[in-house]
């Protein structure tokens, strides 16, 4: 195998990375550039600073070309889902894209379902109901008579937008398109009839392309500035979870994955969407995957709870590292207080510690006081929510699913990994950490003929990166805790989308 260099731009809700992957007999990666990301408040609205991100992408491209003097073979971009930019007829961006946590979608699920019944929306899209979904963002624009919706000529998700700026080609990549809840998963097309009923203009949506599509070379002006002439742009699994799942170093097809980051996405790979009354009841989702797969999963609030708590403590002058917080949690009392991570009270930024304490007070549990108690409450509750999701995935797939692969940044949290094994009774395999970037690189390599298949790519990943294994323990203690957790989930005060 000849040596090739691939640049993965991996944009998360908290930070972005430019990671160079060099491929010969093994895959090695090098972080070239890292930069901050996050919401920007303007008045009452939350936005993304996409021009900042675009500038950082160009910086990453330039630095990668400088670092690898032999040249870049390709570049691929993956990001979070659901958010988007709208272009006018001259391909100009119509305002800063909204952040999915913006409050304008409050009440939009209920309002939309008065027009198109909930069951019909799910039957067409197979997508979990969350108020942050693109469908409800666009519907909120219509309900508020936002003029930019009528001015729009093209709808591009965030990675589609950056791919357009890189190449001049407009398209909607499959894995990210499916996150919008505007896509008919059964018929693999935009859900035109539903969109029409909700007065969302169907003409703005672009042709669907599959992950692994080679778009164009980097635009000439950018190639000159970044000294990266001849670099191909590949539409990878543009949803970061699709790229991350492509990097699961599994030896068989029957496994559960948890892509652990700001969000925890727990699911399986399926060949067809699983859309029925049970999957609707459990609010499970069918999103596009790499290699003709469907990511059948549950979207859980995830490390967002810890990130926001840490940010709150930092503002108070307590600058803990994640490792320090994990150590404090390990020293705190076990299974003392629990929360439901999916409760809507945890969705918005700010005062996360107070919200966790209020949840515990409302549910007549001991109120966590110290930083260690709060973090342990978060991690144990996440593990128990993983247990609930694991049971539902087994039920709907009909498979035993005894191995869980945890990938992404959250896989570094060894305490949560052990809690997950204890709570679920599964063997947990943790790693690789930079799964989204690694999967991004593997899809580029497959697209350009450097790797033969996804299976070959996963074997290459297993050979190239270390993983850690965790076995379940303390089963009875966690069984008792799970009974308490189920009672919490059924409580009237738990508010879910």
Q: Quick: pLDDT tens for 111-127.
A: 999 999 999 999 999 99
Which pLDDT does position 1 carry in this prediction?
40
In whole angstroms, give the CA distance from residue 325 to residue 465: 26
In whole angstroms, give the CA distance from residue 428 to residue 435: 16
Which pLDDT does position 496 carry in this prediction?
63
* DSSP strand pairing (294-300 vs 427-430): unpaired
Cβ atoms of residues 387 and 423 within 8 Å: yes
In whole angstroms, give the CA distance from residue 132 to residue 316: 29
Tell me if domain 4-235 and domain 250-431+467-497 are identical in fold. Answer: yes
Q: b/e map of 38-51 (b: 16 or more CB within 10 Å)? A: ebeeeeeebbbbbe
Which pLDDT does position 170 carry in this prediction?
98
Cβ atoms of residues 238 and 78 within 8 Å: yes
**DSSP 8-state secondary structure symbol assigned to residue 316:** T
Which pLDDT does position 494 carry in this prediction?
76
- Class of domain 250-431+467-497 as given by CATH: alpha beta
Mean pLDDT value across residues 67-87:
96
Residue 91 a catalytic site member: no
Cβ atoms of residues 444 and 408 within 8 Å: no
Does position 366 have pLDDT exceeding 90, yes or no? Answer: yes
The DSSP H or E segment spanning 123 is: helix 118-125
Q: Report the alpha-carbon angle 121-179-54, nearest 5.
A: 145
pTM metric for this prediction: 0.91
* Percentage of the residues of the chain whose pLDDT score is greater than 90: 95
In whole angstroms, give the CA distance from residue 129 to residue 446: 33
- Give pLDDT tens digits for 347-362: 888 999 999 999 999 9
Provide the mean pLDDT of the chain.
96
Structure tokens at 205: 């949506």
Sorted by sequence, the CB contacts under 8 Å of residue 317 that are 6+ apart come out as: none
- Give pLDDT tens digits for 163-175: 999 999 999 999 9
Of 240, 254, 343, 466, catalytic = 240
Cβ atoms of residues 158 and 85 within 8 Å: yes
Which pLDDT does position 491 carry in this prediction?
87
Long-range Cβ pairs for the range 220-226 (8 Å, 24+)? 222/58, 222/61, 222/166, 225/58, 225/62, 226/58, 226/61, 226/62, 226/65
* DSSP strand pairing (264-270 vs 294-300): antiparallel
* DSSP strand pairing (15-23 vs 27-36): antiparallel
> H helices of 275-338, where?
277-281, 304-315, 322-331
Q: Closest by alpha carbon to 411, among 382, 387, 390? A: 382
What are the structural domain ranges in the chain? 4-235, 250-431+467-497
> Three-state DSSP class for 174?
helix
The DSSP H or E segment spanning 233 is: strand 232-235
| Interaxial angle between packed helices 371-397 and 475-489, expressed in degrees from 0 to 180 and rounded to the nearest 10 | 80
Q: Which range (13-17, 141-145, 190-194, 412-416) has the least confidence?
A: 13-17
Mean pLDDT value across residues 450-469:
96
Does position 313 have pLDDT exceeding 50, yes or no? Answer: yes
Bigger pLDDT: 1 or 159? 159
Q: How confident is the model at residue 250 (pLDDT cuts 50, 70, 90)?
A: very high
User: What CATH topology corresponds to 4-235?
Assistant: Nucleotidyltransferase; domain 5 (3.30.420)
């Amino acid at each position: 195998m000849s040596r090739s260099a691939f640049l993965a731009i991996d944009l998360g809700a908290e930070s972005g990375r430019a990671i160079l992957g060099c491929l010969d007999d093994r895959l090695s990666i090098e972080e070239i550039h890292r930069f901050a990301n996050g919401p920007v408040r303007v008045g009452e609205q939350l936005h993304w600073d996409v021009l900042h991100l675009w500038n950082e992408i160009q910086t990453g491209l330039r630095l990668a070309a400088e670092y690898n003097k032999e040249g870049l073979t390709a570049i691929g971009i993956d990001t979070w889902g659901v958010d988007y930019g709208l272009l006018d007829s001259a391909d100009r961006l119509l305002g800063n894209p909204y952040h999915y946590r913006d409050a304008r979608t409050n009440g939009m699920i209920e309002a939309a379902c008065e027009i198109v019944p909930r069951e019909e929306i799910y039957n067409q899209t197979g997508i979990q109901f969350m108020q942050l979904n693109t469908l409800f963002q666009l519907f909120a624009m219509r309900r508020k008579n936002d003029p930019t919706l009528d001015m729009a000529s093209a709808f591009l998700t965030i990675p589609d937008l950056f791919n357009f700026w890189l190449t001049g080609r407009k398209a909607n990549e499959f894995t990210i398109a499916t996150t919008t809840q505007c896509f008919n998963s059964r018929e693999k097309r935009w859900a035109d009839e539903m969109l029409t009923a909700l007065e969302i203009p169907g003409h703005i949506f672009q042709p669907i392309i599959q992950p692994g599509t080679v778009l164009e070379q980097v635009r000439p002006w950018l190639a000159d500035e970044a000294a990266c002439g001849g670099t191909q742009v590949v539409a990878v699994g543009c949803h970061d979870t699709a790229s991350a799942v492509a990097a699961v170093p599994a030896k068989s097809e029957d496994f559960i994955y948890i892509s652990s980051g700001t969000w925890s996405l727990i699911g399986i790979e399926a060949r067809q969407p699983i859309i029925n009354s049970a999957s609707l009841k459990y609010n499970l989702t069918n999103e596009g995957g790499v290699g003709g797969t469907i990511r059948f999963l549950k979207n859980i609030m995830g490390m967002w709870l810890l990130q926001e708590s840490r940010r709150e403590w930092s503002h108070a002058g307590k600058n803990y590292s994640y490792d320090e917080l994990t150590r404090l949690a390990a020293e705190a009392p076990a299974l003392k207080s629990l929360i439901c991570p999916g409760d809507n009270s945890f969705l918005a930024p700010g005062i996360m510690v107070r919200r966790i304490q209020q949840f515990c007070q409302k549910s007549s549990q001991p109120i966590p006081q110290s930083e260690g108690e709060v973090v342990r409450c978060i991690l144990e509750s996440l593990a128990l929510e993983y247990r609930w999701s694991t049971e539902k995935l087994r039920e709907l797939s009909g498979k035993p699913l005894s191995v869980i692969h945890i990938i992404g940044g959250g896989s570094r949290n060894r305490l949560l990994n052990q809690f997950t094994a204890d709570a679920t009774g599964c063997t947990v395999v943790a790693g690789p950490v930079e799964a989204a970037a690694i999967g991004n690189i593997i899809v580029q390599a497959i697209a350009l003929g450097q790797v033969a298949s996804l299976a070959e790519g996963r074997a290459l990943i297993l050979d190239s990166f270390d993983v850690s294994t965790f076995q379940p323990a303390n089963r009875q203690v966690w069984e008792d805790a799970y009974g308490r957790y189920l009672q919490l989930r059924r409580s009237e005060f738990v508010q879910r989308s």
